[in-house]
């Protein structure tokens, strides 16, 4: 079975290739130049996603109604993050509490200096201290691996493909004559317009699922307790199945450790998260070559980077 890193790299390669093909076809159709199509589609998507990337922490906190808290206001959360952060080579990120009874957690921020780790009120009531550490280790793994940056890049390519398709549709509806300049087969163009945006979405969601598996693995290894995360995921999933909660928009829900917007099963192809049962199975299959001891460093932990002034 391919590792999450290898799978992510392969998916990025496929979505990049799809972008080149679609941008080229659209460029030839509208401008007689494949390079022009690539440039326009990429520029439009890049502008929107850069704004989202640099403002992601503020946007996510606002949309979920999360409140930044001082360590004294959330002592369990603060103690766990301060214990775990050095194992991931991180400075302890800011903390936030989301006022919702649905148990969940997420991390956001474009880098570790702007990172925020948030937990819902429901999570703090649902899990014990050991399970809370497991959840927070998963979120710190996202921060360590710069997953916000990776997913912004994936969204940029997927968005560029959609923009390219919409550009052709808009030009056609408004009476553009670019098609007379290009030598593109109309049937090929139609197939590209209909299938490429869906394919790009599927690839982006597959990258998201691969990153969740990766965060589970890194969080369990550096956090030192795979069973804690497995147990927490089981509890969170049971709550989501029993009473789906709302946590911001669907885009923000994809940041959560378990998608809170679904009560029943969804087609796995269009899911932001892998099946929780499979995540739990993988965690419990990890060889326990270390013993969990609260307050101890796990084998394989990396040295903390110094705090930047």
How many C-beta neighbours within 10 Å does residue 19 have?
24
Does residue 83 carry a catalytic annotation? no
**257, 239 contact by CB (below 8 A):** no
Nearest in space to 104 (alpha carbons), one of 134, 124, 86: 124
CA distance 15 to 34: 17
DSSP-derived pairing of the beta strands 67-69 and 94-98: antiparallel
**85, 92 contact by CB (below 8 A):** yes
**132, 80 contact by CB (below 8 A):** yes
Mark out the alpha helices in the chain (DSSP H runs). Answer: 4-31, 34-54, 56-64, 75-84, 121-126, 129-144, 147-173, 178-181, 186-223, 226-242, 250-253, 276-285
Report how many helices (DSSP H) and strands (DSSP E) the chain contains, helices first: 12, 4
Residue 262, CA distances (Å) to 242, 246, 253, 254, 267 in order: 10, 9, 10, 11, 11
Cα distance from N-terminal residue to C-terminal residue, the chain? 43
Residue 184, phi then psi, degrees to nearest 5? -85, 135
Q: Could you give the 3-state DSSP secondary structure of residue 17?
A: helix
**121, 98 contact by CB (below 8 A):** yes
DSSP-derived pairing of the beta strands 116-120 and 94-98: parallel
Given the residues 139, 212, 217, 237, the one annotated as active site: 139
For the chain, the farthest-separated pair of C-alpha atoms sits apart, in whole angstroms, at 70
Q: Which residues are catalytic?
A: 139
């Amino acid at each position: 079975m391919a590792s999450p890193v290898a799978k992510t790299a392969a998916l990025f390669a496929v979505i990049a290739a799809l972008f080149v093909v679609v941008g080229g076809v659209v460029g030839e159709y509208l401008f007689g130049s494949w390079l022009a199509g690539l440039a326009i589609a990429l520029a439009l998507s890049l502008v929107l996603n850069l704004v989202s990337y640099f403002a992601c922490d503020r946007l996510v906190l606002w949309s979920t109604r999360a409140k930044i808290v001082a360590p004294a206001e959330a002592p369990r959360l603060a103690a766990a993050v301060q214990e775990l952060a050095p194992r991931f080579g991180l400075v302890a990120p800011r903390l936030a509490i989301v006022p919702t009874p649905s148990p969940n957690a997420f991390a956001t921020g474009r880098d570790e200096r702007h990172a925020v780790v948030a937990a819902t009120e429901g999570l703090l009531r649902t899990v014990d201290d050991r399970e809370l550490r497991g959840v927070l280790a998963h979120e710190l793994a996202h921060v360590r691996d710069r997953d916000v940056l990776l997913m912004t890049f994936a969204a940029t390519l997927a968005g560029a493909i959609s923009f390219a398709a919409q550009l052709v549709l808009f030009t056609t509806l408004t009476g553009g004559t670019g098609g007379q300049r290009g030598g593109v087969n109309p049937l090929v163009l139609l197939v590209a317009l209909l299938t490429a945006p869906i394919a790009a979405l599927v690839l982006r969601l597959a990258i998201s699922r691969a990153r969740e598996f990766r965060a589970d693995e890194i969080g369990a290894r550096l956090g030192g307790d795979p069973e804690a995360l497995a147990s927490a995921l089981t509890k969170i999933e049971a709550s989501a199945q029993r009473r789906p909660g709302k946590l911001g928009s669907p885009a923000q829900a994809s940041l959560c450790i378990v998608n809170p917007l679904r009560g029943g099963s969804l087609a796995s192809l269009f899911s932001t998260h892998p099946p929780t049962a499979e995540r739990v199975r993988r965690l419990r299959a990890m060889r326990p070559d270390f013993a969990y001891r609260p307050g101890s460093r796990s084998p394989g932990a990396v040295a903390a980077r110094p705090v930047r002034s």
